[in-house]
Amino acid sequence: MEAALGQRVVRGPDWEWGDQDGGEGFVGTVAGLEEGGGGVIVQWDMGQRCRYRCGRDNKFDLRVLDDGPSGRSYSKHRCHVCRKKRVYGVMWRCLHCPEYYLCSVCYLANHHCSLHRFTCLLDRDGMQFRVLARADSRRIPVSGLFYGAEVVRGTDWRWNDQDGGVGRTGKVVEVLDWSNEGGSGYERSVVLVTWENGNKKKYRAGHRGKVDVRCIAPGSGGFYYPEHLPVLCQAVKPPSSGDIVTGDRIKCEVNLAELDDPEMAEKIGLMLDHVGTVNVLLENGELLVRYPGNSLVQVNPAAAKKVGRFPPCSN
């Protein structure tokens, strides 16, 4: 995933910097980009500000926990749970349930069946990678500028004595979005803080790479699956459709009892009764399948079982 100011990050696969970040699961913000690429500057919620590799010497120190604060949106699909039409950050597509998408917030909150595998969709151009089922994956608590964090003024502070003065503390009471008049948003890039003096104000926590406050005691931001997160600046290849080719006849294999959404179970149940024909192998590795009635459905090959092919035309 390409680096951008405001991305919220955690330590990645090549991390070798001890607890500069505060510890595993502690969060930071991409606050600067190296000219020419290869590195970024991260402002950690606990106060440290350091430079890290994202491609230099083929090393990748960081993973992207949340791309929403960068302002980049993925508006091609709607999240099936929160129903947001414009999703900021990556999307997650179920490998077992056709056309079932989650935003990162709902995915990390364990919505939908945790036994199902997903594809992480990085952008609208089809860059994606598959991950294991959440039920089979390592889960780490998230810590930093979240609800309940105790904070003081930080590196980018420019708000005079709203906090009551140097050294005064406050509490994060909510994580908010920053929306411009034009409608573009920077989701989860602002925190609402209540200070000892009674002031209650909003401060940047990722918006355009700025962080106004730092933690002296972290808040809890839920959980994440380290190996599911995109590695900052590391290229990914589209998944392969395996040995399925155009013309193959397939059936979808999904355990309906695992689904917690009756509407989705009903939709998939109708497909389970029919055999479809692979019409097109899409560039992103998905299958475009034609079902009886001439309907076209996009299916992930992980949920498809080949049952045969139509014989080639003899004419």
Domain ranges of the chain: 147-216, 248-309
Q: Do domains 147-216 and 248-309 have the same CATH topology?
A: yes
Look at residue 108 in the predicted model and tell me its pLDDT.
97
Look at residue 128 in the predicted model and tell me its pLDDT.
83
Look at residue 8 in the predicted model and tell me its pLDDT.
98
Does the pLDDT of residue 313 top 60, yes or no? no
pLDDT (average), residues 108-128 = 86
Q: Average pLDDT, whole number, for the chain?
A: 87
* 14 pLDDT tier (thresholds 50, 70, 90): very high
pTM above 0.85, yes or no: no
Superfamily for the 147-216 domain:
SH3 Domains (2.30.30.40)
CATH for 248-309 (1.10.3470, 1.10.1760, 2.30.30, 1.25.40): 2.30.30
Residue 129 bridge partners (DSSP): 120
54-94: per-residue pLDDT in tens? 999 999 999 999 999 998 887 678 899 998 878 888 899 99
Does the pLDDT of residue 182 top 80, yes or no? no
153-175: per-residue pLDDT in tens? 999 999 999 999 999 999 999 99
Look at residue 258 in the predicted model and tell me its pLDDT.
63
251-299: per-residue pLDDT in tens? 877 766 666 667 666 666 666 678 888 877 776 677 888 887 767 777 8
